[in-house]
Amino acid sequence: MKTVDYPPEQISSSARETILLGEEFGKSLAAGNVVALSGGLGAGKTCFTKGIAAALGITEEVTSPTYTIVCEYEGFIPLRHIDAYRLSGEEDFCLMGGEELVSGNCVVVVEWPEKIAGLLPENTIFVDIEICGEKKTLRRIRKTGCEHTGL
């Protein structure tokens, strides 16, 4: 599997910048990578995913799959975008074929990964987005908790 080389922490000061950082990060991804994208409501997880999609050659607009849970896009590498927010937990995800959904020949991005933590593969790449700054316009984007992948 390709090594992901991304600075451990970056600050974004706009939605546009978060998309660009997502795109930069997305360029280092390969089919089979699973990205667990954590952060509170409005942190910018979907923004960051839009950037990842751009890096994968996806031209279709990426929108939040909050209600559909899963959305798939065709690109140089396909993207499977999962939003686990509305799932009650891992059992719920398993019932909809979750174990297969977090594997496959595509890049998988999971928002609210804590909901399905036990089902994420061992080599999952963790990225956390935190709202910061006095006016709440800054975002701290960090790659976290992936020592076991050697990244």
Ligand X SMILES: Nc1ncnc2c1ncn2[C@@H]1O[C@H](COP(=O)(O)OP(=O)(O)O)[C@@H](O)[C@H]1O
Contacted entry of Mg ion, ligand X, none for residue 44, CB cut-off 5 to 8 Å set by kind: ligand X
How far, CA to CA in Å, does 107 sit from each of 45, 72, 88, 133, 137? 15, 10, 24, 31, 28
* Backbone dihedral angles phi then psi of residue 36, each to the nearest 5 degrees: -95, 115
* Residue 14 within binding range of ligand X, rule CB under 6 A: yes
State the nearest-atom distance from the C-beta of 85 to ligand X, in Å. Answer: 8
Tell me the CA distances in angstroms from 115 to 52, 91, 140, one per residue in order.
22, 10, 22
Number of residues that bind ligand X (CB under 6 A): 18
Is 13 a binding residue for ligand X by CB under 6 A? The answer is yes
Is there binding between residue 61 and ligand X (CB under 6 A)? no
For residue 10, the minimal CB distance to Mg ion (Å) is: 19
The verdict on 80 binding Mg ion (CB under 5 A) reads no
Please tell me whether residue 42 binds ligand X under the rule CB under 6 A. Answer: yes
Amino acid at 48: F
Instruction: Determine, following the binding rule CB under 5 A, whether residue 46 of this chain makes contact with Mg ion.
Output: yes
To ligand X, the closest distance from the beta carbon of 141 in angstroms equals 9
Q: Contacting ligand X (CB under 6 A), which of 26, 35, 38, 45? A: 45
CB of residue 125 vs ligand X: minimum separation in angstroms?
17
Which of Mg ion, ligand X, none has residue 149 at its interface (CB below 5 to 8 Å by kind)?
none
Nearer to ligand X, 4 or 111 (CB): 111
Instruction: Work out the burial of residue 130: count CB atoms within 10 Å of its CB; fewer than 13 is exposed, 13-18 middle, 19 or more buried.
Output: middle
Does 144 help bind ligand X (rule: CB under 6 A)? no
Amino acid at 38: S
Give one DSSP letter per residue of 18-48, joined into a string. HHHHHHHHHTT--TT-EEEEE--TTSSHHHH
